[in-house]
């Protein structure tokens, strides 16, 4: 990472709400320059405008879909204009059908979409960012889930996509020794996606996404070896 006089640059996907928005806020407060992605333009624009940006960092909001190769290329191009990416936070993702279906009932088109969004788009963005990440000895932070490693009824489609993300991280860490690669489990959080997984239930007992941001900042400050991280264990 860089000195305080030259801000580090992060691409944060899914930054219009939930954990992505919370991480973006933490990085902005710390003076990072940010390139923010989300599918909904109004929500992303509002989220970017509310960030507690601190100089010398800048914030650029680029709405679009990570499935779109041109959108991925724009994200990296803007990060390059800001000095080159030091960090990619792969937070954007889809849950799949709600209520969550058993694997026997999971529509295959919905599963294909899950893989396209959660795995293919993530890898495509990471591939484009790697030259800059290598140059700056930067990092990739893939947001994962305990559903990637545990068997929960109804979570087969989503969990399979996150398991794929974790394996991509493991291999990338071996192939890119100059880049830190972390796949981070934030635990259950009070987000819209988590609410969609439990329609009609009260998830008010789950902690807010902001509660794990200090763990993310600690991870970036200490730069441990590549690997799987449970963010709450860093708090």
Give a three-class secondary structure readout of 20-39. HHHHHHHHHHCCCEEEEEEC
Q: What is the pLDDT of residue 103?
A: 98
CA separation for the pair 129, 94 (Å, rounded): 22
Query: Looking at residues 7-27, what average pLDDT do you find?
Result: 97
Per-residue pLDDT of 115-174, as tens digits, reads 999 999 999 999 999 999 999 999 999 999 999 999 999 999 999 999 999 999 999 999
pTM: 0.95
Q: What is the pLDDT of residue 77?
A: 98
% residues pLDDT > 70 (the chain): 98
Q: What is the pLDDT of residue 1?
A: 53
Query: Looking at residues 52-65, what average pLDDT do you find?
Result: 90
Q: What is the pLDDT of residue 11?
A: 98
What DSSP element (H or E) covers 226?
none
Does residue 2 carry a pLDDT above 70?
Answer: no
Q: How many CB atoms lie within 10 A of CB 151?
A: 8
Where do the domains of the chain lie, and which CATH numbers do they carry? 9-234 (3.40.50.720)
% residues pLDDT > 90 (the chain): 89
Q: What is the pLDDT of residue 5?
A: 60
Q: How many CB atoms lie within 10 A of CB 108?
A: 8
Q: What is the pLDDT of residue 212?
A: 97
Does residue 227 carry a pLDDT above 70?
Answer: yes
For strands 227-230 and 180-185, give the pairing. parallel
Exposed, middle or buried, 171 (CB in 10 Å: 0-12/13-18/19+)? Answer: exposed
Instruction: Provide the edge-to-edge strand list for the sheet that holds 227-230.
Output: 59-63, 33-38, 9-12, 87-90, 139-143, 180-185, 227-230
What DSSP element (H or E) covers 6?
none
**Using an 8 Å Cβ cutoff, are 119 and 169 in contact?**
no
Per-residue pLDDT of 72-117, as tens digits, reads 999 999 999 999 999 999 999 999 999 999 999 999 999 999 999 9
- Which of 90, 127, 68, 122 has the alpha carbon at shortest distance from 14? 90
Higher pLDDT: 52 or 169? It is 169
Higher pLDDT: 174 or 197? It is 174
| Backbone torsions φ then ψ of 65, nearest 5 degrees | -110, 125
- Which of 92, 130, 87 has the alpha carbon at shortest distance from 220? 87
The whole-angstrom distance between residue 223's C-alpha and the CA centroid of its chain comes to: 17
């Amino acid at each position: 990472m860089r000195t305080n006089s030259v801000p580090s640059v992060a691409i944060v996907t899914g930054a219009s709400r939930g954990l992505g928005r919370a991480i973006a806020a933490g990085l902005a407060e710390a003076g990072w320059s940010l390139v923010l992605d989300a599918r909904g333009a109004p929500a992303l624009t509002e989220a970017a405008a509310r960030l507690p940006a601190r100089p010398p960092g800048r914030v650029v909001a680029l709405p679009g879909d990570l499935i779109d190769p041109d959108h991925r290329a724009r994200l990296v191009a803007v990060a390059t204009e800001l000095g080159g990416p030091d960090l990619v936070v792969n937070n954007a993702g889809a849950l799949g059908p709600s209520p969550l279906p058993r694997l026997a009932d999971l529509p295959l088109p919905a599963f294909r979409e899950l893989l396209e969004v959660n795995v293919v788009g993530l890898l495509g963005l990471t591939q484009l960012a790697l030259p800059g990440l290598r140059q700056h000895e930067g990092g990739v932070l893939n947001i994962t889930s305990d559903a990637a490693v545990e068997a929960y009824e109804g979570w087969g489609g989503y969990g399979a996509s996150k398991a794929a993300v974790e394996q991509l991280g493991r291999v990338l860490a071996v192939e890119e020794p100059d880049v830190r690669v972390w796949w981070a489990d934030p635990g259950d959080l009070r987000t819209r996606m988590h609410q969609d997984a439990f329609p009609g239930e009260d998830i008010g007992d789950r902690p807010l996404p902001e509660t794990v941001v200090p763990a993310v900042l600690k991870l970036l400050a200490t730069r441990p070896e590549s690997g799987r991280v449970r963010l709450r264990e860093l708090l």
